[in-house]
Amino acid sequence: MPERFGEALRRTRQDAGMTLGDVARLLDVSVVYVSDVERGNRRPFSNERILRVAGLLEADPAPLIAAADVEKGVIEYDITKAKPLEARVVGDLVSGLARGGVTEDQLKKIRRILKDSE
């Protein structure tokens, strides 16, 4: 099972030598709130908050965002910040998935293309 968001956040924070208070001050929230998130008693941070925390911790935000997405059951994507072609592609993909219009073969091809671009 993938690492839960709170566990990933705690590990990343501790690896960076930061305290709950450091993270709380950055986000302008209480230490109790951050502690609750780490213990899984509150939902994962928004992507915006994750990016801010990752910057503070000098960490790659991708694993935190992935853990948050899995836990929330939702992928956050701000299409307003995307380039026009990117917005169309993402919109088409989400629309196709929602209506069941993307085949398993098409998904495999998309996955291969994305993996090749890494």
Element (H, E) at 97: helix 84-98
Name the CA dihedral angle for 33, 37, 42, 45, rounded to a multiple of 10 degrees.
Answer: 100
pLDDT in the model for residue 118 = 67
Task: Identify which of 12-21, 67-76, 94-103 has the greatest average pLDDT.
Answer: 12-21
CB 87 within 8 A of CB 79: yes
Average pLDDT value for residue range 42-46: 96
CB 52 within 8 A of CB 27: yes
Q: What is the largest distance, in Å, between two alpha-carbon atoms of the chain?
A: 48
Residue 6: CA atoms inside 13 Å, Cβ hemisphere, count? 11
Q: What is the pLDDT of residues 101-116, one digit of tens each?
A: 899 999 999 999 988 8
